Amino acid sequence: MTVREVAEAAYRESLPVLALSASGGLFAGVVLGGMDAELKQVAGLLVLVPALLATRGNVYGSLGARLGSALHQGLVDPTFSTDDKRVNAAVAAALANGVMVSGIAAFLTVALLAVLGRPAAPLSTLVAIALLAGLVSGVLLTVAVVSVVFVGYRRGLNPDTLAGPVVTTTGDVVGIATLLVATRLVLALGGG
């Protein structure tokens, strides 16, 4: 393949998914823009936003990449079943990592803000918000990743081009939406 052929193929395969993920990203931005009251009320929540969004992308993007490579190598069948040990192990590891890292991010945020002498909400509030958002978004994203990668592969699409952007996009939208819901819930239950 020449440079031109490689570039054209990569461009053509990636553009629709990128356009889709741009729309998702704009939607996430609109939700973030509407969260200004919560962002002001819970000091440190804005610091947590990139870390939580990235965790969604990292954990479930890696899940997508693993499934993609396993499909390419013929180690996994693109069928939905609960007894594929390789898929189950990957999903369990992703969920455990996702929830744990969200909690750790909240701890580190409070510590970092204390070191910098900036205002921060109570540790329990930020940790509760992060764990709740991490759990709910984890379940939603696992369903999204496995479905998109398997269905895409069965229809002849390359899971490598699909997985990354679909995960980061649904990760952004789901991540910010669950963060908003978790924040409102924790504040309603008396945190903050």
C-alpha span between 119 and 53 (Å, rounded): 22
In which residue are the tokens 């929540």 written?
Answer: 45
For position 33 contacting another protein by CB under 8 A, the verdict is: yes
**Which C-beta is closer to another protein: that of 162 or that of 186?**
162
For position 92 contacting another protein by CB under 8 A, the verdict is: no
Q: Which of 57, 187, 44, 54 is nearest to 107 (CA)?
A: 44
For position 93 contacting another protein by CB under 8 A, the verdict is: yes
C-alpha span between 91 and 104 (Å, rounded): 20
Q: Would you call 10 helix, strand, or coil by DSSP?
A: helix
- Near another protein by CB under 8 A, which window of 55-63, 80-88, 121-129, 138-146? 55-63
**Which C-beta is closer to another protein: that of 61 or that of 192?**
61
Contact between 28 and 172 (Cβ < 8 Å): yes
- Stated as kind and residue range, the H or E segment containing 14 is helix 3-33
C-alpha span between 132 and 185 (Å, rounded): 9
For position 5 contacting another protein by CB under 8 A, the verdict is: yes
C-alpha span between 106 and 76 (Å, rounded): 36
**Binding test (CB under 8 A) with another protein, winner from 42, 59, 126, 179:** 59
**Which C-beta is closer to another protein: that of 21 or that of 183?**
21
For position 30 contacting another protein by CB under 8 A, the verdict is: yes
The residues that touch another protein, with contacts defined as CB under 8 A, are: 1-11, 14-15, 17-19, 21-26, 28-30, 32-33, 36, 39, 44, 46-51, 53-55, 57-59, 61-62, 65-66, 68-69, 72-73, 93, 97, 100-101, 104-105, 108-109, 112, 116, 118, 160-161, 163-165, 168-169, 172, 176
